Structure 1
Amino acid sequence: MSEPRHVLFLQSSSELYGSGRIILQVLEIYQKEGLTPIVILTGGGPITSELAALGIKYYIQNLGILRRKYMSPTGLWNRAQMNLKALKFLDELDETYKFELVYSNTLAVVVGAYWASINNLPHIWHIHEILKGPKVLVAFLRRLLDRSTPAPVVVSEAVKDHWKSKLRISKPRVIHNAIPYEEFLKGDFEQIQDLKEDVDNLVISMIGRINPGKGQLFFLDIAEQVLESYPHCKFVMVGDPFHGYEYIEEEIIRRINSGILKGNVINLGFRTDVPAILSQTDIFVLPSVLPDSFPTVILEAMASGKPVVATDSGGSREMVKEGETGFLIPIGDVNTAANSIIELVKDSDKRNLFGNKGRERVLREFGQTKFEEQTIDHLWLHLAKD
């Protein structure tokens, strides 16, 4: 029996939002290819039970994850100290596992690229971000990418276009996200209490982790305008805040408890029953106000057969076909967004047509088979087969 071939995976979050769900797909593929993943998490969270179910060993270690809140002298000093401790931890772990490949999921994890570089190991960076600044951070990541990662995976053409002009050596490769769609195709879920109080209500939902870029407050601006003429609409929000962005959640709660939004907006917070919520959604909205690299939730909504209204930026324009599966709206343009939603509110045939076309598109263009084939091909560019 041959010795196990260990791959080190460094994961930036223990949650099961987009990047967390995608890394689970990658881990399963690597297992099928005969490799043994070892995962390092920064803390406990929902992903740990998924790893346990896959039989994947994981460790908890502060990896000095980069966030905007650390972009200050004291914050950067803190990150440097955490990364030094993480480097020592990886050295010790390597004595046990003798890693052959390092895989860093998201640009927030930098220690893996540096550790792979100094240990002369192949490194894969899975880039989910379109990062505009700070300039010093972008420059640092550019240099580290060129030094450590010849062929980073990027989740969309938008991410590729953003980074390829900055990189001098690294050549990004697009592998569009894909997820298991079975749950979203079912459609036979029990009614969620209070989500649709009346058969005449139309449910307009958004799902996303609360942060400055996801556009929750823009969503509420849109809701106010739609409700002025169509009070039978029910707006639903799903998602909890990243640590440090609780103030946005507080503003959301303040707004939905006053004025025309009161009683017409439901804030569900973090939920694990997203397929059921989408099955009872009539129109899905993703109102990101910063470029969203390739939001997995749009794939989920399309697989659920729902028309999508999303901001015309980042990866959304690679997913939504304007006038066929939904509408693309300018960032921050409340009037255009509201009018696009109202067009769908008034036309059930169009909602059904867009939803059906969206489901066909997601299964054809963003299926798991294609994702798996591309991931396997990319993997064996970096390792020699036994």
Structure 2
Amino acid sequence: MTQAGLRILFLDHSAALGGAELYLLDLAPAFAPPGEVVLLEEGPFYQKLQAAGIPVAVMAAPRAVRQVAREAGPGSALRAIPGLFWVAGRVARKARAFDLIYANSQKALVVGSLAARLAGRPLVWNLHDVLTTAHFSRLNIRLAVTLANRFARLVIANSDASRRAFQEAGGKTPAVVVHNGIDVQRFAAVEPGQLQAMRRALGLRDGPVVGLFSRLAPWKGQHVLLEALAQLPDVQALLVGEALFQDEQQYAQQLRQRAARADLRGRVYFLGFRDDVPALMQLVDVVVHTSVAPEPFGRVIVEGMLARRPVIATRGGGAVEILRDGETGLLVPPGDAQALAVAIQRLLRHPEQARQLAEAAYKDARTRFSIEAMRQGVRQALERAFS
């Protein structure tokens, strides 16, 4: 089997535009066609793949399968079993026309493992998560590691932090690290006049603005930024993203209630999902990353670097593989609103230092986190595994 002729069936459980899905949107054009993407639900990701000219099909998973959460216990998992075998059978029938199944998420790993066994095809798992109890139930971690050890020929991890967590959880399958790549061209400079027009359209007042670009979820730490803002009365914030899953809706409501209190009222803008993230990043003075649990990679950190904005990130996980503290950005302890406030204030009070950090970060990101570097890394990993 030669890499040049490798026909890959990419499998993803979600049609929401999360980090793993954006990664696949950038990776798939290097292999599809002749490769193809299969999703287990229909949604915005499906439309994005179609618009990019990537062959894509939807094999809708039963509700019991789709509703198994990261924290799932035995009852939820057991209820999903009949639907799991049903959808795996459908994927297996399609997979017989391909050389391998490439699972792009943890749920895709579960379906893909069964489908690979039924179809007699090898399986690759792209690991986008840190497999710890900060993110998953013990049952989910054990299931993922067991399936990877039993069925996957290769694990491609998005960071060394993800790879180490997999191995520490008992992962034995060969695992390589390929960092995510970001399309540099999306971050072409926006004219100052356009940025001013954006400020007016958003209703921003004069004064500094920080931006946090992530779905609204407790572990993403938007609440930490709000508490830091309470110490910075002249600073406004853009929260770009929305709750993706049902269990995150309550957290999103709590954030809005906190932002409505007197000390923050009128300074926090909830923008939901946006297609103009590169421009919004150039609009803000500082990009912040506030995850309170280790980030598997930290795509938004790289995007902030490519937008030529100084970035403050939480120390831990993939973030420490991206930023060098004091050289290409600032790192702060997770969950520490005081430290975050101090770091924001430092950059706002010292614009020349902020500019130097941003320029150094931009040059670094262009070299280390390009789409071509990511695609080449995946090509080489597959070539070694299947040559």
- TM-score when scaled to structure 2? 0.90
Which residue in 1 is equivalent to 2:76?
A: 75
Distance 1:319 1:91, change over 3 A: closer
Report if aligned partners of 1:101, 1:383 keep a CA contact under 8 Å in 2: no
Asked whether 1:91 is paired with 2:92, we answer yes
Change (3 A) 1:91 1:163: closer
From 329, 333, 339, give the equivalent of 2:332.
329
Instruction: Provide the C-alpha distance between the structure 1 equivalents of 2:54 and 2:371, rounded to a whole number of angstroms.
Output: 21
**Amino acid paired to 2:348:** V
Q: Contact conserved, 1:187 with 1:304, CA < 8 A, in 2?
A: no
Q: Percent identity?
A: 24
Counterpart in 1 of 2:236? 234
Tell me the residue number matched to 1:370: 373
Q: Which moved more, 1:118-127 or 1:335-344?
A: 118-127
Q: Deviations over 1:323-375 (max 9, x none)?
A: 11221111111111111111011111111111111101101211222212111
Give a deviation string over 1:253-311, Cα, whole Å, max 9, x none: 11111121101111111111101100101101010011110121111110000111111
CA distance in 2, matches of 1:122, 1:69: 25
Task: Tell me what 1:219 maps to.
Answer: 225
- Structure 2 Cα separation of the partners of residues 196 and 45 of structure 1: 30
Amino acid aligned to 1:130: V
Partner of 1:62: 61
Q: Which residue of the other structure, out of 271, 275, 278, is the alignment partner of 1:275? A: 278
| 1:349–1:195 CA distance, 2 compared to 1 (3 A) | farther
Separation in structure 1 between the aligned mates of residue 122 and residue 326 of structure 2, nearest angstrom: 43
Provide closer, same or farther for how the CA distance between residues 122 and 69 of structure 1 changes in structure 2, counting only shifts above 3 A.
closer
Q: Is the 8 A contact 2:237 2:269 kept in 1?
A: yes
Note closer, same or farther for the CA distance 1:187–1:212 as it changes in structure 2 (3 Å cut): same
Assess, with a 3 A threshold, how the Cα gap between structure 1 residues 136 and 16 changes in structure 2: closer, same or farther. closer
1:176 corresponds in structure 2 to 179
Residue 201 of structure 2 corresponds to residue 202 of structure 1:
no
Determine if the alignment matches structure 1 residue 37 to structure 2 residue 35.
yes
Segments of structure 2 that go 5 or more residues without pairing to the other structure are none
d(CA) in 2 for partners of 1:84, 1:185: 46
Aligned length, in residue pairs: 371
Say which is worse superposed, 41-50 or 171-180, in terms of deviation: 41-50
Question: Of the candidates 27, 48, 51, which is equivalent to residue 46 of structure 2?
Answer: 48
Query: Is 1:380 matched with 2:379?
Result: no
Aligned to 2:11: 10
User: Does the CA-based 8 Å contact 2:68-2:80 persist in structure 1?
Assistant: no
Partner Cα distance (1:67, 1:46) in 2? 21
The structure 1 residue matched to 2:307, chosen from 279, 304, 323, is 304
Residue 44 of structure 1: how far off its partner (Å): 1.9
In structure 1, what residue type is equivalent to 2:123? Answer: H
Letter in 2 for 1:121: R
Whether the 8 Å CA contact 2:92–2:118 is kept in 1: the answer is no
Distance in 1 between the 2:283 and 2:89 partners?
A: 49
Q: Which residue of 2 aligns with 1:112?
A: 112
Give the Å deviation of 1:316: 0.6
Greater than 6 Å deviation, 4+ residue runs: none
Aligned to 1:355: 358
Q: Which amino acid aligns with 1:145?
A: A
Structure 1: segments with no counterpart, 5+ residues: none
Determine the C-alpha separation between the residues in 1 that align with 2:201 and 2:267. Answer: 11
The structure 2 residue matched to 1:248, chosen from 248, 251, 257, is: 251
The question of whether the paired residues in 2 share the 8 Å contact of 1:282 and 1:307 is answered with yes
Deviation at 1:197, TM superposition (A): 3.5
Per the alignment, do residues 66 and 320 of structure 1 end up closer, same or farther by CA in structure 2, a change over 3 Å counting? farther
Aligned residues of 1:66 and 1:108 also touching (Cα < 8 A):
no
Letter in 2 for 1:319: I
Deviation of residue 194 (structure 1)?
4.8
After superposition, the Cα gap between the structure-2 partners of 1:81 and 1:259, relative to the gap in structure 1 and judged at 3 Å, is: farther
Give 1 or 2: higher helix fraction. 2
Residue by residue, what CA displacement relative to the aligned partner does 1:57-116 show, whole Å, maximum 9, x if unpaired? 32232173575366134421232232122122123434xx52211000022321102321
Specify the SS of the correspondent of 2:263. Answer: helix
Residue pair 1:150, 1:169 contacting (<8 A) in 2 also? no
1:302, 1:65 → 2: CA distance? Answer: 34
1:161 corresponds to which of 159, 164, 181 = 164
Bigger mean CA offset, 105-114 vs 280-289: 105-114
CA contact (8 A) 2:59 2:87 kept: no
Match in the other structure for 1:345: 348
- Secondary structure of the corresponding residue to residue 287 of structure 1: coil
Distance 1:23 1:104 in 2: 10
TM-score normalised per structure 1: 0.90
Partner residue of 1:137?
A: 140
Q: Cα–Cα, structure 1 residues 241 and 318, in superposed 2: closer, same or farther, change >3 Å?
A: same
Q: Aligned-pair RMSD on alpha carbons?
A: 2.0
